[in-house]
Amino acid sequence: MGFFKKKQREQEPVDEELTFFTVSEAQRFRTTVREVFAELGHEVQIHADHALDADGRGYGFWNVAANCHSAQESGWREIIRQHLERVLANFDGADPFEELTAEQAFSRTYARLYEESGMPNLDAYPHSQFAPGVVEMLALDLPDTVTLYARKHADTFGGWEALRTQGLANLRALEHEQVETVPAQGGGAFNALLGDSVYTASKALLLPDIATELTGKQPRPELGWLMSIPNRHQLVWHVIEDEGVLGALDGMVRFTAMGYSDAPGPVSPHVYWWNGTGYEQLTQLSEEDGSLSVHVSPEFHAVLEATSGD
C-alpha cells in the first residue's frame, strides 16, 4: 500500500518530497517561495524540500507547505511571505543567547527530536542519534519561536551533557495533554500521546518510564516495546506482552504513515523496536511507490515467537 500517495487529482503523480501536493502544485509552490525570497531581498537555492541562502542557512518547506495545502492557492504568496518574514526576523535579529543568564537558559532548554534529513548543516549543532533517521538536539524555547543551540551556544552554558540533563527535566515537567488507546484491526492496541506542544513527540526520550506512568505497563526487558514519532505532536508506543504485538505493529505502521504525511513538523514515517540497547527500525520505505513494508530481523523474530507461545 502506498501510504504517502494521496488521492490523485486528475491522475497527476504526487510530489516525492511534499506529498500533499501534486508534482505541478509543488513546483508552483517552490517557484512562489523563490519569488517571495527575492521580494524580501534574499537570493536562495531551491531544493526539493528546503532552500539554502548564501550563508548556508536552511529553510525547510514542510510546515509552510502544509499551511498552503490547507488554503486556496491564491493565498499561498501571503502565507509564504508571513512565514518567511518571521523566520528571517529570527535569523537577522539579535542573537537570543547573548542576553541570557545561565538560569534563564536552563529554564528554557528542552531536549527535542528532529528528522535527521531535514536538518541542514547538522554538524554545526550538538546532537546525538536517537534512532535511525532521528536526532536529538537542544532547543531554546522563546516566546515567539524555538531556536537550536549551536555548538558555541552550548559551550557557553555548560555543554551538551549539562544542557541535555536540564532539557530532559524540562521535558518531563510538561503536562501530558491527551492519551489515547487505539484498538488495532486483528487484535491488539497501541497508545498515542497527542498534543499541541512542539515537544510532544520528543517525550519518546522518556520511554519506557512515560509508558508505565500513563498506562501502568512495565516493559519486559527481553521483549521491549514498539515506538514511533510521526510528527512533533504525536508519540506512539506499544508495550510488547503477547501476540497482540502483530496487530499493534500493523496499526502503528498505518497510523504513523498518515501522521507523518499529513501534519506539520514531520519526524519519522517509521516504526521502531527497542531491542534492549537501542531502537531498531522495523519499516522500510519503497523509493518506487512510497509503500511501507515491515522488515523482521532475527532478534525481532525471536520476540514474535516468544509472544506467540504465551
Query: Could you report the per-residue pLDDT of 144-190, keeping only the tens digit for each?
Result: 778 889 999 999 999 999 999 999 999 999 999 999 999 998 789 99
**pLDDT, tens only, 200-250:** 999 999 999 999 999 999 999 999 999 999 999 999 999 999 999 999 999
pLDDT tens per residue across span 37-93 = 888 878 888 888 888 876 677 888 988 998 999 899 999 999 999 999 888 877 766
pTM above 0.85, yes or no: no
68 contacts 79 by C-beta, under 8 angstroms = yes
C-alpha grid cell, residue 149: 543551540
Q: Does residue 192 contact residue 180 with C-beta atoms inside 8 Å?
A: yes
256 contacts 263 by C-beta, under 8 angstroms: no
The count of other CB atoms within 10 Å of the CB of residue 159 is 12
Cα separation, 137 vs 52, whole angstroms: 21
- DSSP conformational letter for 22: B
61, 33 Cβ separation under 8 angstroms: yes
8: how many CB neighbours lie within 10 A of its CB?
A: 10
What is d(CA 66, CA 25) in angstroms, rounded to the nearest whole number? 12
Compute the distance between CA of residue 174 and CA of residue 189 in angstroms, rounded to an integer. Answer: 25
